[in-house]
A and B are shown apart, each in its own frame.
Chain A
Amino acid sequence: MATVFLLSCVLLPVAGAIGMYWVPERIHKLYMSAVAGFTFFTTLGLYRLVEGGAEIAYRGFWGSPLGLHLEAESFGLLFAALSSFVWFAVTIFSTSYMDMETGKQRFYFFFLLTLAGTLGVTLSADLLTLLLFFELVSLAAYPLVVHKKTGPAYEAGNLYLYMAVAGGMALILGMALVYTDMGTLSLWSEGPGAGETGFLTYLGVGFMVIGFGVKAGMVPLHIWLPKAHPVAPTPASALLSGIMIKTGVFGIIRVINMVFAPDMEALYWGELEAVGLIITFLGVATMLLGVFMALLQENMKKMLACHSVSQIGYILMGIGAAAYLGPLGAVGLSGAIYHTINHALFKAALFLVAGAIYFQTRELNLYRLGGLWKVMPFTAVIGLLASFGIAGVPLFNGYISKTILHHAIVEAAEYENVRLLFTAERIFMLTGAGTACSFIKFYYLLFLRKPQRSYQKIRETRPMQLGMVVLAGAILLFGLGPNLVLERFIEPALDIFVLERHHVETHLLALNFFNLKDLGLVSLSLAGGFIIFFLGMRTGAFHLHLPSWMGGEYIGRRFGDIYRAGWNFASKGYYEGREELTEMRERIGSRGGVVLQSLDRKGGGWANFANLDFDLLLLIFLLLFFLVEYLVAG
């Protein structure tokens, strides 16, 4: 019975997606909300069951070469519940928003397929099953990205598609390498202890981090993200930024903190430590670069997408710190998990705010809007709550998770006094200030300052308000009751990791978030945000543009040019050589052929030497070459 719950989490959205083509058009809105709602409540039911101690797993001998292995455990279910919750909220929002788009059937078909994939990722019990659903997410999200069929959407979609496919290839390669080395891909396998791990496992884990990193938007694999997220219809952007990139994060946690982590008795944790340091620095680079890009954007959806990159950096840093600290990494992990939840909530809310504005004004440029709080008061309130959340204002959810992450990085830095980690902590603070600045700017430009244009007939619609208010409620909940959340949701999720229980209790559950030191630090970063904001607005620094050669796309293009030039060069040589040889053949044919043709009575038929195809000649030479080579060298 319980297995039915587990399977229906994945199969319900799939069935819903197929059903989308059968239900009559007039009940589409109701139908979509019902499917998303049912999925959410199924996930919730599953969560309750597992909380009550039920062990629910499914093993099917189909779909994956190692068998489709699903299991409901608290950590994955936390992600599943989060995903289906945000999906539900966004679906309600979309029922109104999608009135302005065409091709709704296709959109919702892939929308639900992506949900199924996301839930599958969170419920998989081995890495290969995870990969199956991960790729489902990658592919099913593509039609969402290019839904508008415009030129930029197509370009962005291409970049997304090929990077996602390449990421998938890196993943499957990594998994194959790990599998050949370790003989299993189960999440519960004994991690590679010291001295037993081969080179292949390291290589494999590296490839997997790259593969998941593409989806997560890890620097330098993030280049698709600021392009692809804004071009999609807003509900899809909200989910791409809020939830789908988290499947990458989720994968990295599974690989690094579960599969790669040794068990409790292991004496040597050096390998995990090294990997942890690398991830930490990748995370730090990601957060800084993301916020830097975000400050320079004019398009509000693009700005939010850049912030997604930056926030993923926070999460990666937490994961890295946790891996670095090994069994003492509870703070980093819970910070990462908490921040994943928070980011999903406020980023989805922010995107919905942007979408609501776009729906009413058809304008995405921050600098051409303004004074919206008068015409869209409801959206303004939600926008304020979500901005407070992401900027880390005390009493809002971002403050909590950023504080935990700050504790984690400080703990990591003090653990072996690594100088670079202290620098990382500085960058962390700086990024906080940048984020604050960015959202002060966002809110000021959109809502507060004088209107830059006149607005007509703006009426906020009910479904949009409902979708946003659900998310805002969650933001408040996760900000006001941090210790409750830690005990109720985060701590059970930590069960599956190799962590010292005592450390969890003393360092995590006993955390007091409203002490002077942490509040002081956050006010410092908020103040820094204000200062950057004023400086930026005065000097016009927000309108700077990066030189194009710094973009990954530019580099990619140049590589493409080099490849094309190389190909042209090679093929030119080939064709020229071919022509020359044909000429030579003709010359030989016209002279020597006379003699030969006198022997060959038929003359002009295809079997004589004069008409011998060049291809055949080349072939014979090559074969001779191969033969000689082969006989000599074997």
Chain B
Amino acid sequence: MILALCFLPLLGGAAILGAPAERAGRVSVIATGLLTAIIGFFLFFAREGMEILLWPGLELSWQIDDLGRGFSFLVLPLWFLATLYARGYMEKTPDRSFFFFYLITLGTVLGLALAGNLLTYYLFYELLTLTTYPLVIQTGTAEARQAGRTYLLFSFAGAGLVLSGLFLLYGLTGSVDFVPGGFIRPHLIVENPVGIRTALFLLVAGFGVKGALIPLHFWLPGAMVAPTPVSALLHAVAVVKAGIFGLIRVSLYIFGPETLEVMGIGGIKVWAALTILLGSLIALQQDKLKKRLAYSTIGQLSYIFLGVLILNPAGLQAGLFHFLAHALLKITLFFCAGIITHETGCTRVSELDGIGLRLPRTMAAFALASIGLVGIPFTLGFISKWYFLTADPALSWVFILSALLNAVYLFPVVTRAFFRDGNFAPPLVREASPFMLLPTMVLAGGALLLGIFFRWPLEFIKAIQVTITG
């Protein structure tokens, strides 16, 4: 049954391929909508997972736990909105294969979210690279090909690291299942410290590629040549979050907080903290809006990882909450960036003076999302920041410094747009088509509402946290 979930999108994909090129967008919207409804409905009620035996002791398995379900519930509506957006964005250049790959990636991500052991996760992790590669090189330019090549190289190298980590882990412990709170008991570390450490390192580095830990991030800014719907959904939510999700699974469902505590993970923490600060610092230097957002993503992703690595309930809640917060806010920002490029052709921040007159709603959504990402009260980012700060006072300066940098690289876009006169001088409101505008507004509004009424997602996250730390 679960397997059907991952293959249902293929069915939708077939429908897209069957449709005439100019209808591909519409079919794809309908298909994604239907799938979202069906899969959402199923996930809401289903409890039991499934297993496929490949070899004695080696099996593919899926499970429906709260963490995976949370990820799926996050991804599904975003996918629908992003497809709606993509339909508007690709209006002029209909492309069946684009929508095909766009849709079947959903299946891959669901496979990742519900994977029950590391082997399954690894397989879908590889598959994700394959289904998203055509999306990265969609424009077909030399730059896109170059970026695609880097993307492939990094992803395969990363997956290779994961695979070797997986072998090592299996050899040492005889299991790669995801168990809340981890299955590696601290005494194993005493027996074989180097082996366990190496396995952890390989897995972290492997998932760190898609999770964009600096210096494994090189593929991400390059991949921004992809059409914006791809950047928005994949490079803000699905692909990078697959890496982070893997890191969460590894640290909390394989190693577990206690074991990590015993092992000492200061080095990895420093790595994540450096990524946060460096990502924000580099973002500051970018003039291209999408690149700026990409580096911002790099910084923000490590918030999640660092939060999880704090290894106490507050840090865990903060990390998981930021998983949600960053997904909603960053996809909104990318949507806005896409609308800007699509409507005016501007790609650089320095060209945006006065664009608020032309695209008031879009820029208002951008403003809301950037305020949220900086973490100013009444927004999603504030909630996660509060939990980050209270989780570990010793690390709080990292989050504060990074939040300040966030403000410095995001707010100029807003202030330039609204409070500077520029090339858009005559107040001529001409917004994007509703297909693009509506998802953006819905997401910005949803992020605002969730930021104020944050209890519901937080309770869900607390339930997950309880299963892990008890």
B396 within 8 A of A: yes
Task: Tell me the nearest residue of chain A to B202, going by C-beta.
Answer: A627
In the complex, what's the smallest C-beta–C-beta distance from B399 to chain A, in angstroms?
Answer: 9
CA distance A143 to B149 in the complex (A): 45
A23 within 8 A of B: no
Which of these binds chain A: B92-100, B435-443, B450-458?
A: B450-458
Task: Tell me the nearest residue of chain A to B401, going by C-beta.
Answer: A169
Given known A143-B418, A165-B404, A613-B153, contact A63–B390 (CB-CB < 8 A) = no
> A180 to B393, Cβ gap below 8 A?
yes
CA distance A131 to B400 in the complex (A): 15
Task: Tell me the nearest residue of chain A to B267, going by C-beta.
Answer: A630
- Residues 149-170 of B contacting A (Cβ, < 8 Å): 149-150, 153-154, 157
Q: Mark B270-281, 1 if CB is under 8 A from A, else 0.
A: 010000000000
A567 within 8 A of B: yes
From B149, B198, B387, B419, give the contact of A146 (CB < 8 A): B419
Which of these binds chain B: A132-140, A247-255, A364-372, A409-417?
A: A132-140
A618 within 8 A of B: yes
> A143 to B393, Cβ gap below 8 A?
no
Given known A139-B376, A169-B403, A623-B205, contact A618–B420 (CB-CB < 8 A) = no
From A64, A157, A633, give the contact of B419 (CB < 8 A): A157
In the complex, what's the smallest C-beta–C-beta distance from A164 to chain B, in angstroms?
Answer: 10
Task: Tell me the nearest residue of chain B to A207, going by C-beta.
Answer: B400
From A62, A131, A616, A619, give the contact of B454 (CB < 8 A): A62
Given known A139-B376, A176-B386, contact A631–B198 (CB-CB < 8 A) = yes
A200 within 8 A of B: yes
A556 within 8 A of B: no
- Chain A hits for B267, CB < 8 A: 626, 629-630, 633-634
From B150, B264, B382, B403, give the contact of A634 (CB < 8 A): B264
A65 within 8 A of B: yes
Q: Mark B187-198, 1 if CB is under 8 A from A, else 0.
A: 000000010011
> A166 to B404, Cβ gap below 8 A?
yes
In the complex, what's the smallest C-beta–C-beta distance from B317 to chain A, in angstroms?
Answer: 10
> A62 to B453, Cβ gap below 8 A?
yes
CA distance A622 to B215 in the complex (A): 8
- Residues 385-431 of B contacting A (Cβ, < 8 Å): 385-387, 389-390, 393, 396-397, 400, 403-404, 407-408, 411, 415, 418-421
CA distance A133 to B418 in the complex (A): 23
> A149 to B153, Cβ gap below 8 A?
no
> B404 to A169, Cβ gap below 8 A?
yes
> A177 to B215, Cβ gap below 8 A?
no
Given known A65-B383, A622-B215, A630-B267, contact A176–B411 (CB-CB < 8 A) = no
From A135, A200, A619, A630, give the contact of B376 (CB < 8 A): A135
> A616 to B157, Cβ gap below 8 A?
yes
In the complex, what's the smallest C-beta–C-beta distance from B288 to chain A, in angstroms?
Answer: 16
From B149, B201, B389, give the contact of A626 (CB < 8 A): B201
B433 within 8 A of A: no
A549 within 8 A of B: no
Q: Mark A37-61, 1 if CB is under 8 A from B, else 0.
A: 0000000000000000000000001
Given known A154-B415, A615-B218, A619-B216, contact A173–B389 (CB-CB < 8 A) = yes
A22 within 8 A of B: no
From B157, B374, B404, B421, give the contact of A149 (CB < 8 A): B421
> A62 to B455, Cβ gap below 8 A?
yes
B20 within 8 A of A: no
CA distance A613 to B218 in the complex (A): 11
In the complex, what's the smallest C-beta–C-beta distance from B241 to chain A, in angstroms?
Answer: 22
Instruction: Please give the number of chain B residues whose Cβ is less than 8 angstroms from any Cβ of chain A in the complex.
Output: 51
Task: Tell me the nearest residue of chain A to B416, going by C-beta.
Answer: A154
Q: Mark A603-634, 1 if CB is under 8 A from B, else 0.
A: 00010000001011011001100110111011
> A149 to B420, Cβ gap below 8 A?
yes
B377 within 8 A of A: yes
- Residues 177-212 of A contacting B (Cβ, < 8 Å): 177, 179-180, 200
B266 within 8 A of A: yes
- Chain B hits for A335, CB < 8 A: none
CA distance A379 to B419 in the complex (A): 32
CA distance A149 to B403 in the complex (A): 27
In the complex, what's the smallest C-beta–C-beta distance from B198 to chain A, in angstroms?
Answer: 7
Given known A619-B215, A619-B218, contact A62–B452 (CB-CB < 8 A) = yes
Task: Identify which of B154, B397, B415 gathers the most chain A CB atoms within 10 Å of its CB.
Answer: B415
- Chain B hits for A92, CB < 8 A: none
CA distance A571 to B453 in the complex (A): 43
- Residues 101-160 of A contacting B (Cβ, < 8 Å): 128, 131-133, 135-136, 139, 142-143, 146, 149, 153-154, 157-158
A333 within 8 A of B: no
CA distance A131 to B379 in the complex (A): 13
- Chain B hits for A139, CB < 8 A: 371, 376
CA distance A179 to B385 in the complex (A): 14
In the complex, what's the smallest C-beta–C-beta distance from A331 to chain B, in angstroms?
Answer: 35
- Chain A hits for B194, CB < 8 A: 631
- Chain A hits for B201, CB < 8 A: 626-627, 630-631
B467 within 8 A of A: no
B378 within 8 A of A: yes
15 A–B contacts, CB within 8 A, in A order: A132-B377, A135-B378, A143-B418, A146-B415, A149-B420, A154-B415, A162-B408, A172-B385, A173-B389, A619-B216, A619-B218, A627-B201, A630-B197, A631-B198, A634-B197
Top 6 closest pairs, chain A to chain B, by CB? A176-B389, A132-B377, A146-B419, A165-B407, A615-B218, A634-B264
Contacts A146-B415, A180-B390 supplied; 19 other A-B pairs, CB < 8 Å: A63-B377, A128-B386, A135-B376, A135-B378, A136-B378, A157-B415, A157-B419, A158-B415, A173-B389, A173-B397, A177-B393, A616-B154, A619-B216, A622-B215, A627-B201, A630-B197, A630-B201, A634-B197, A634-B267
Chain A residues within CB distance 8 Å of chain B: 61-65, 128, 131-133, 135-136, 139, 142-143, 146, 149, 153-154, 157-158, 161-162, 165-166, 168-170, 172-173, 176-177, 179-180, 200, 567, 571, 606, 613, 615-616, 618-619, 622-623, 626-627, 629-631, 633-634
